[in-house]
A = this chain, B = another copy of it.
Amino acid sequence: MTSPSFAQLPAPPYYAVIFSSLRTDHGSDAYAPMAERMVALAQHQPGYLGAESTRGTDGFGITVSYWSSLDAIAHWRANAEHRVAQEMGKAQWYEHYELRVARVEKAYGKRN
């Protein structure tokens, strides 16, 4: 059985946006619905391939989204609704975040 947590991706090359973040203690009420909305919105962007995301109980999380091209990433980054969420994230939700854009060159996995 496939876990819904894993992205189903084509063969490389493709691009990854690695977003690591530490949540603040505040703004939780607004955060969860906005985060869900961003996942749903991203899925409808051109060039979106998939995403994987997790957060520990310490508030530190990693989300990796996968895209067909750098143009697709730039397009998503400039999305108006996404920009509002980005500003909310900077101002309220994240104590610290790091974002890295990478070109995936090799991929392999194993499912038991």
Seen from chain A, the residues whose Cβ lies within 8 Å of a Cβ on chain B are 3, 5-7, 12, 16, 18, 20, 22, 24, 52-58, 60-62, 64, 90, 94-112
> Is the pair A101, B110 in contact by a Cβ cutoff of 8 Å?
no
A98 contact set on B, CB distance < 8 A: 6-7, 52, 107-109
A112 contact set on B, CB distance < 8 A: 24, 90, 94-96
A66 to chain B, nearest CB (A): 9
Q: Kindly list the 5 A-B residue pairs having the minimum CB-CB distance in the complex, ordered from nearest.
A: A102-B102, A98-B109, A5-B60, A54-B56, A96-B111
Cα of A53 to Cα of B61 in the assembled complex, Å: 8
A12 contact set on B, CB distance < 8 A: 100
